[in-house]
Structure 1
Amino acid sequence: MKTRPGREAATDQEGTTSWLPLVVVVLTQIQASFAVNALTVSMQGITSDLDTPATTVGTAITAGTFAMAAFILLGAQLGAKFGSMRILRIALVIHGAAMAGVALSVSPVMLFAAQALSGAVIALIAPALVVVIAANFSGQQQARAIGYLAAAIPAAGVLALLLAGSFASTIGWRYSFALVVALAVVNFLLALRLAPVAPQTGMTIDWTGAGLAAATVILLSFGFSGLNSWGVVIATPSAPFSVLGLSPALVLIVLGAVFGQSFFAWLRKRKAEGAPQLFDLEVLKSASERATTVCMACMLFVGTAANFLIPLYIQVVQGRTGFQTSIAIIPYTISIFIASTAVAGLYTRFPPRTIARAAFVVVAAALILLAFTIRNDWSQFLVVVGLVTLGLGQGAIVALVFNTLLSAAPKRLAGDVGAWRGLVHNISGSIGIAVASVFAVTALSALVNANLVDNETIPPSLKAQVDLDEVNFITNDQLEDVLGATDATEAQVAEAVRINEESRLRALNLSLLGLAGIALLAVVPAGRLPSWLPGDIPPTVTAGSPGTEPAAAQA
């Protein structure tokens, strides 16, 4: 049998090694993910303790996320040059110190700096974790290890909801980050027992490529994040600046796209010259690998957007507290964890493209079910079923596409695969939240204005007292406070509340249906994934043929 040139053939034999490397990988991923989730859950305590608005905490979270996304490709290069295990150990120490800085923060500036450092260090950790898996596991062991790595993220979310939520309401929010420091110490001691990964000491880091990548990520992230508040096309009054009246969000997105094209052009130029590259395009060489990336981006876009809309539904439509929201979404989070770990059992029975197609259909069906069943009663059985089903499909896809991409690449590119996964995860997530927010708010504004046309209860004089150009998701109490500053009567307030309730619920319905449509469209690129079972080598493989990369080959 022949394999595609430059690829390592899969074998029918599967090595069995100690699971200690996986323990380190999973605990380290929990350490990184728990820290971010704990910051979100602890928002109320931080704002009161540091005497700062909630937006400061949001800025700190954003700073960490952007720092990680901007430098993750560089992180993979540093791991390759100096040894991924050495980089991982150093990163664990620095991340622990950053979390100590969060726990001991006495000002918003200190919190911001510590979280930004945390994000930059995670850019070193994420690629190293993938290299550890590739260096220690193969075959089904590797598939299960990837599933556990993917499952560690929702597991950390559940732990943060329970532990950080409890700490924030009892002994104090700082203890959550003290716990992360303790976990960093444990992970560092365990990492000392792992075998080193040989460094590529002769490699040269592509600093120009690193600069282009960082600029691309930062421009796109800030651009998409500002769509809702700065305007999609025309700049709003809250925009920090405008270019000929255009929204700075649009300008930043266009610049980000230009820098992104420049980044890939630079990589192709360096490859043609035989010079070192920041990111090896061989990871995306075939149609199958590019389709796998598209599937990953689609699922992370849909999943992150749903994670934004679901809390919006619980807190705004139902009026529940943040902690009640955390408890309510635990079944959804647990279902992601279960699917991420269990999907490896399907690899020996179904080809990747079949699993991916079925999972996207499951995700779409779950979103459609939610769109037609959500009301004001969270305990409704079908809503819970829809959330659990969504989590199962989402967890299966994320673990599957990551395994497919890693297994298709040579072992030397494991760090690049890990960095690419982290980059796609953060950019797709940022875009998912931004687009879902813009779509939902736009739908809400259109529905509210449609309900006000020819409304006999609410006269034009009352409409003139309310800024209908700034419609957003607000609770009934907030709406009543706004109308309290007008001359609205009780009947008019009641009518406005009715319109608000119906419009925001319908806007969320439409948003969920839109996400379902994206999930169904993703079935098309899912058909480009490998069409044969893991461990098999295609009988005839030609270079450049779509769908010919091993889905569980030894990396």
Structure 2
Amino acid sequence: MSSSPVASTSTTKIAAASWLPLIVVVLTQIQASFAVNALTVSMQGITTDLNTPATSVGTAITAGTFAMAAFILLGAKIGAKFGSRRVFQIAVVIHGLAMAGVALSVSPTMLFVAQAASGAVIALIAPALVVFIASNYRGSQQAQAIGLLAAAIPAAGVLALLIAGTFASTIGWRYSFALIVLLAVINLLLSFKLKVVPAQSEVKIDWVGAFLAAGSIILLSFGFSGLNSWGVILATPQAPFQVLGISPAPILILLGAVGGQAFFLWLRKRKKEHKPQIFDLAVLKSGQERATTFAMAAMLFVGTAANFLIPLYIQVVQGRSSFQTSIAIIPYTLSIFISSTLVANLYKRFAPRQIARVGFVVVAAGLTLLAFTIRNEWEQFFVIVGLIVLGLGQGAIVALVFNTLLSAAPKHLAGDVGAWRGLVHNISGSVGIAVASVFAVGLLGSLIATGVAAHPELPGQLISQVPLDNVNFITNDHLKGVLALTSATPAQVDAAVLVNADARLRALQISLLGLAAIALIAIIPAGRMPNYRPGDIPEVLSSGREEPGDDTVVPDDEFEPFQPVPGDGDGEKSGA
């Protein structure tokens, strides 16, 4: 009996492509990620040099992040319309100029504008990187390329900790951004070696959809970022405005959620009318692609929240400096890098849903181990092991879900996949930090109140002199400074420090256990991820027939053929 077209195609070997495009992709991702990390590491030098508070640097970082998230969907369409390579080259030049602006900043305003500009052009760069991978690599090479792209982010973090940290303490923080300018020049020169990705001049930009997306993302980002400082429900004195005493944070989140619903309704309306959309819903064409997105969001939420809590533990509980903190988390960052790079080796043996389920179990195990072992000594063996285990699971899942989405989408939607990845990354990260902060601080307040009630040597007269309505994570020295302004005796100061230290540690431990629980819950959407290997595609799509519930016919040449996972007898296919 003759082989079917699908079977014969599946055995065809794909010639290995040049790794030059991947070199450009990885170096450019490092360029973009290094810039943000360097700004954080250099915060002390910037605040001193520009005579500005640290909050101004934080505002500049936030501006860049929000600008990227707001315009990334638009950036994908601009790249498709005018050609990804051309748009990429222009964006790399602008990003290099923006970094030169940061290096030469003489005022907080100049720093803010330069960083905001860099964030906006990353919205053009990020989708182009995914297009380069999709247009140059297939099968196992594509999986390896995506793993290295995902690994470039933690790699940039390690480099920033080492290089920017060293520069900031020796020759000056500005040299870190001069180095990024040099990297931008290298990436620009190398990009001319890339093959031209044809421009899709017929692409029409949906400006209404772009406005709805940008507005919703900005509202959600500001809302979640302001939860801790502006108030979860009632407005705090730090809130920029209030409505009948209600904090602006939940109001902005509500408006952002409404805007998000309006955005997806608009996309569906445009699709029914066969009009261009700012984001093609074919990227989320089935329940399996949506489950992959949920798994991605859950991992980014947990990972970003852990990235917030771990440095908080090192700096506040242990009282270490920012540079010491950076060095301490290198094992965690390196483990993310390693697993992102090596997870592609599992794709030929296990389905995405299997890898994702195990990955979330590993993440939960790492967080649980951390929660039960963190004390006041960072060098504990099991603390380091917990960080490494967490990083291994996190890196594997982030690379896996990205590759799964890209493998299931037509090549001409690679930019949309890249934009969607960036969008989910930023929103999930903002939510992760906000929720972790609010939960940990709220828990700390409750634990301190309980601890004070259990210590009769801390009378109500003394407690009334301490601003317990503004509880936050502070070091022991900071607390002693606050108590020095009260009538507390030395014995009472010692008791208060003991209560605060115990509550602080327990709040962080419970918060880490909460993240572990979320990781375990994420096994549910992970179990709905595709049951085929990334890089392969089910017969229903490779044959060019319609997927159930979708009115889009996928061309034959957009996908690679499906190869069943050995031992998987349920016969389930993507989109089924």
TM range, normalised to the smaller chain? over 0.9
User: Which residue identity lines up with residue 120 of structure 1 in the other structure?
Assistant: A
TM-score, normalised with respect to structure 2: 0.93
| Distance of aligned partners of 1:206 and 1:427 in 2 relative to their CA distance in 1, 3 Å threshold | same
Structure 2 equivalent of residue 357 of structure 1: 357
Matched, 1:94 2:55: no
Structure 1 equivalent of residue 547 of structure 2: 543
User: Which residue identity lines up with residue 327 of structure 2 in the other structure?
Assistant: I
Structure 2 equivalent of residue 372 of structure 1: 372
Matched, 1:501 2:505: no
Supply the distance in 2 between the matched residues of 1:333 and 1:358 (Cα, whole angstroms).
20
Structure 1 equivalent of residue 215 of structure 2: 215
**Contact kept? 2:536, 2:560, Cα under 8 Å:** no
**Contact kept? 1:367, 1:386, Cα under 8 Å:** yes
**Contact kept? 2:69, 2:423, Cα under 8 Å:** yes
Alpha-carbon offset, residue 32 of structure 1: 0.2
Alpha-carbon offset, residue 425 of structure 1: 0.3
Matched, 1:481 2:481: yes
Larger relative CO (CA 8 A, sep 6+): 1 or 2?
Answer: 1
Supply the distance in 2 between the matched residues of 1:157 and 1:61 (Cα, whole angstroms).
15
**Contact kept? 2:22, 2:145, Cα under 8 Å:** yes
Q: For 1:7-406, what aligned pairs fall within 5 Å after superposition? A: 12-406=12-406
Supply the distance in 2 between the matched residues of 1:545 and 1:398 (Cα, whole angstroms).
28
| Distance of aligned partners of 1:413 and 1:68 in 2 relative to their CA distance in 1, 3 Å threshold | same
**Contact kept? 2:209, 2:267, Cα under 8 Å:** yes
Alpha-carbon offset, residue 363 of structure 1: 0.1
Alpha-carbon offset, residue 242 of structure 1: 1.1
Alpha-carbon offset, residue 500 of structure 1: 0.7
Alpha-carbon offset, residue 11 of structure 1: 6.8
Alpha-carbon offset, residue 537 of structure 1: 4.9
Alpha-carbon offset, residue 14 of structure 1: 2.5
Alpha-carbon offset, residue 41 of structure 1: 0.2
**Contact kept? 2:407, 2:535, Cα under 8 Å:** no
Deviation sequence 1:17-48 (CA, Å, 0-9, x none): 11000000000000000000000000000000
Alpha-carbon offset, residue 532 of structure 1: 2.7
Deviation sequence 1:330-377 (CA, Å, 0-9, x none): 010000000000000000011111000000000001000000000000
Supply the distance in 2 between the matched residues of 1:203 and 1:57 (Cα, whole angstroms).
38
Supply the distance in 1 between the matched residues of 2:119 and 2:372 (Cα, whole angstroms).
38
Alpha-carbon offset, residue 234 of structure 1: 1.3
Q: For 1:376-455, what aligned pairs fall within 5 Å after superposition? A: 376-455=376-455
In structure 1, runs of 5+ residues without a counterpart are 4-8
| Distance of aligned partners of 1:247 and 1:19 in 2 relative to their CA distance in 1, 3 Å threshold | same
Structure 2 equivalent of residue 456 of structure 1: 456
User: Which residue identity lines up with residue 489 of structure 1 in the other structure?
Assistant: T
Structure 2 equivalent of residue 6 of structure 1: none
**Contact kept? 1:14, 1:141, Cα under 8 Å:** no
User: Which residue identity lines up with residue 364 of structure 2 in the other structure?
Assistant: A
**Contact kept? 1:15, 1:139, Cα under 8 Å:** no
Supply the distance in 1 between the matched residues of 2:13 and 2:219 (Cα, whole angstroms).
46
User: Which residue identity lines up with residue 301 of structure 1 in the other structure?
Assistant: F
Alpha-carbon offset, residue 535 of structure 1: 5.2
Supply the distance in 2 between the matched residues of 1:248 and 1:290 (Cα, whole angstroms).
31
Structure 1 equivalent of residue 527 of structure 2: 527
- Specify the SS of the correspondent of 1:531: coil
Alpha-carbon offset, residue 202 of structure 1: 1.6
Supply the distance in 2 between the matched residues of 1:264 and 1:15 (Cα, whole angstroms).
40
**Contact kept? 1:11, 1:553, Cα under 8 Å:** no
Task: Output the aligned Cα RMSD.
Answer: 1.8
| Distance of aligned partners of 1:61 and 1:2 in 2 relative to their CA distance in 1, 3 Å threshold | farther
User: Which residue identity lines up with residue 84 of structure 2 in the other structure?
Assistant: S
Supply the distance in 2 between the matched residues of 1:235 and 1:304 (Cα, whole angstroms).
26
Deviation sequence 1:159-198 (CA, Å, 0-9, x none): 0000000000000000000000000000000001111100
Deviation sequence 1:450-475 (CA, Å, 0-9, x none): 11115211000001101111100000
Alpha-carbon offset, residue 543 of structure 1: 2.7
| Distance of aligned partners of 1:454 and 1:318 in 2 relative to their CA distance in 1, 3 Å threshold | closer
TM-score, normalised with respect to structure 1: 0.96
**Contact kept? 2:410, 2:559, Cα under 8 Å:** no
Deviation sequence 1:84-113 (CA, Å, 0-9, x none): 011110011000000000000000000000
| Distance of aligned partners of 1:364 and 1:103 in 2 relative to their CA distance in 1, 3 Å threshold | same
**Contact kept? 2:21, 2:194, Cα under 8 Å:** yes
Deviation sequence 1:215-258 (CA, Å, 0-9, x none): 00000000000000111111122211111221100000000000
Alpha-carbon offset, residue 531 of structure 1: 1.4
**Contact kept? 2:165, 2:323, Cα under 8 Å:** yes
User: Which residue identity lines up with residue 492 of structure 2 in the other structure?
Assistant: Q
